[in-house]
Amino acid sequence: MAQVKFTKMQGAGNDFILMEYDEYKKIEKKFPDIAKFLCDRHFGIGADGIFVPVENPKTYSDLEWLFYQADGSTAQMCGNGMRCFARFCFDKKIVNKRKFTVHTGAGKIVPEVLEDMKIKVNMGQPILIPDKIPFSGDKNLNYPLRLGLKKFMLNAISMGNPHCVIFAEEDEDINKLALKYGKEIEYNNLFPEKTNVEFVKVKSRNEIDVAVWERGCGITLACGTGACASVVASILNNYCDKKVNVNLPGGVLTIEWSGNVQDTNFDVFMTGEAQYVFEGTINV
């Protein structure tokens, strides 16, 4: 049995366990099973995922991260997690600059710790080609899917991980939709690597509400990459302008994207808070 130090953080209600690499090495052989235990909200610490910074990566980045989801699986990218990761690494002096590069499964991501301690993250360009998302439909925008008597129009977008964005009708409850249909869409054969699912209600050209069913987690209070995918889909469908406040159950994120249907080669920027919850030790 090993005693491991950890930090609990949250970004827009998405909560995470972070530990330094030396702590992770004590229990490395027990992963991914230990990830499921640590993330369990009844028997462990409780979290949507675990992040570990790796210094001196083999890539041309300042850091690399290890990312385990609550079910023990690994994933390419997590926007809210990246903000927490960036502040943790800056505060712990794992990096000595406010803007740095992190190698993830989605490639190189560039977070910046702002003076007010909010975190701005260059999330890179959205992926809209179906087989690269991956999505097995013949088009990625407004692809029809019928589940029982319900018909949805799917907008498949990758922000390093796959997302399915669905725009709800004005009289629909997006939280109820996410709870009822999220898992079925996550595992639909259209998404060979499963998918995150976002139900969106457009409030104005600069504001949307989003409910999230997160791949490997289920209902979560927020999803940073999901907020980015939702704004990209909103802009491509001409519902929103270039800068959008995204209201999630856990808080508000500001997403900026200058792309359009004719030219999508622009990076997505996400800004939001990353806050400490508590620190502690656990025997595992």
Give yes or no for a contact between 124 and 107, defined as CB atoms under 8 angstroms apart: yes
For the chain, which residues make up each domain, given as ranges? 3-123+274-283, 130-266
- 74: DSSP letter: B
pLDDT at 1: 86
The C-alpha atoms of residue 134 and residue 171 are separated, in whole angstroms, by 31
The C-alpha atoms of residue 200 and residue 228 are separated, in whole angstroms, by 12
Q: Which residue has the tokens 């949307």?
A: 208
pLDDT at 58: 76
Does 3-123+274-283 match 130-266 in CATH topology?
A: yes
With H, G, I as helix, E, B as strand and everything else as coil, classify residue 141.
Answer: coil
pLDDT at 123: 93
**Amino acid letter, residue 32:** P
| Catalytic entry in 84, 217, 223, 228 | 223
Nearest CA-CA partner of 177 in 206, 202, 197, 155: 197
240 is catalytic: no
Kindly give, in sequence order, each residue whose CB lies less than 8 Å from that of residue 155, ignoring residues fewer than 6 positions away: 140, 141, 142, 143, 164, 165, 166, 167, 233, 236, 237
84 is catalytic: no
Q: Of the CATH numbers 3.40.1110.10, 1.10.10.350, 3.10.310.10, 3.30.365.10, which one belongs to the domain with range 130-266?
A: 3.10.310.10
Architecture of domain 3-123+274-283: Roll (3.10)
* Chain mean position to CA 112: 17
**Amino acid letter, residue 12:** A
The C-alpha atoms of residue 68 and residue 76 are separated, in whole angstroms, by 10
pLDDT at 59: 79
Cα of first residue to Cα of last residue in the chain, in angstroms, is 5
| Catalytic entry in 78, 84, 89, 164 | 78
pLDDT at 112: 98
Give yes or no for a contact between 221 and 250, defined as CB atoms under 8 angstroms apart: yes
Nearest CA-CA partner of 167 in 139, 200, 144: 200
The C-alpha atoms of residue 167 and residue 243 are separated, in whole angstroms, by 18
pLDDT at 75: 86
Positions of the chain with pLDDT lower than 50, given as ranges = none
Between the alpha carbon of residue 3 and those of residues 6, 21, 169, the distances in Å are: 10, 14, 50
Q: What is 27-59 written as a DSSP string?
A: HGGGTTHHHHHHH-TTTS---SEEEEEEES-SS
Between the alpha carbon of residue 137 and those of residues 186, 213, 280, the distances in Å are: 15, 21, 46
Kindly give, in sequence order, each residue whose CB lies less than 8 Å from that of residue 216, ignoring residues fewer than 6 positions away: 69, 70, 71, 73, 75, 194
Nearest CA-CA partner of 228 in 123, 142, 82: 123
pLDDT at 250: 94
